[in-house]
Structures are given as C-alpha cells and as structure tokens.
Structure 1
C-alpha cells in the first residue's frame, strides 16, 4: 500500500475520528485537558504504528499533563480502537504534541498588531 493511497487516507481519517471520540467521551483521566483535539493521524502503511498529532489549548504544564495522561491510557485507547475500527492490525499509537494551531493564533495576533500600528502611522 502506497503512503498516500486513497485507502491509507481513509484509514487515517477513520482512526482520527474514532481516536478523537475515545479521548473526548471515554477517558476519565483528570490530567487530560478538556480542550484536547486530534489534529491528524498518520497510520503506517503496514498498519502496525500510528502517530497521533494532539493539540491542547492551554499552557505548557497542561500540555505535558495531557500527553502523560494519554500515554498512560495508551493500552485502553488501543483496545477501544480495536473494537471500533475494523483493521487487520490495530496500530501502536504514539502521541505527538502539535503546536501548529497555537502558532497560527500567535502569528495572526502579530499580523493584526502590525496592521493596527500601520493604521496609526498614516
């Protein structure tokens, strides 16, 4: 199976949707921040591993706590994923903190600030 095949894209989307649902509705760990979202999932072509990119709206401590909570619930998440997604192999999930949304918000604020200052100069 090629890396960007239609089947692989469909599997990535399905795993992302189910993973998001499991994190939001089924995990009761207090370390996991309520504003946690699954940005994207990349499942390896052999279906044995997956990287889940997680975004947490909060400070660095909340992000670290959320990552620790997800890492400790990894077995439970994988078991729930096996029950909901029909795959030959259930992938081993690695959680990666994705700060692209936070970076985008920061850049947007900086651009607005520059535009506002430029308006004051004229």
Structure 2
C-alpha cells in the first residue's frame, strides 16, 4: 500500500522532469536527469535528486541554477497538484550514480586483470 507522500513524490518527479524537458530558462542548468524525489511524511519538504552529464564545474553550475529555480518549480507544483500546502523544494546531486559507475569501473579492471594471468 502506498503512502500519500509516495504518490505525491511520484507526481512531483514527473512534473519536474517535464519542466526540465521544456527547459528552464537558466543557462546554468545543463543536461539534468531527475533520479528520484523523497518527500517527508508531512509533505513539507521535497528533496529532488538529480544527475548531470558534464564536468564538476558544470555540476556546480547546474546546482546553482536549480537552487535558483526552486521557487519557480514550487509554484508550478502548486498549480499542477493543487495541494493545501506546497512542499519546500531542495535539489540534491545524486551521488549514487557516480558510486555505481565507480564500482562498475573497478569490476572491469578486476576482470581485465584476471585475463592477464592466463
């Protein structure tokens, strides 16, 4: 059984992804993918996890742009979902993707090292 916060988080995920596809006007925001949304049970804070393709500088620039756009995103969520209270928005870089890529790279190194022993 879904909690209400899970359903609202899913709706926010779709909405924010759509906003990014249409394009937020901030040039600092690069190629962003929303990886997940966590919403507190009281629906007062939505943490939106994202990844960005690019250098560390581009990631920082995107973080700045998303932080700046949080008010606009919150307003759009309010319009679309018609909630009594619209949650505050916090954008957070999703480091789990980088962690997964690092593990995959290490496993490939291990497997390529095994072939050298033959």
TM-score of the pair, normalised by structure 1: 0.87
The one of 66, 76, 81 aligned to 1:80: 76
Distance 1:78 1:33, change over 3 A: same
- C-alpha contact (below 8 Å) 1:18/1:85 kept by paired residues: no
CA distance in 2, matches of 1:48, 1:14: 15
Instruction: Identify unmatched segments of 5+ residues in structure 2.
Output: none
CA RMSD, 1 decimal: 1.6
Structure 1 position 80, deviation (Å): 1.0
Instruction: Identify unmatched segments of 5+ residues in structure 1.
Output: none
TM-score of the pair, normalised by structure 2: 0.90
Deviations along 1:41-83, one digit per CA (max 9) or x if unpaired, are 1111222211111111222111110010011111111111111
1:93 corresponds to which residue?
Answer: 89
Deviating above 3 A after TM superposition, structure 1's stretches of 4 or more consecutive aligned residues are none
Aligned 1:1-122 pairs, distance under 5 A:
5-34=2-31, 36-122=32-118
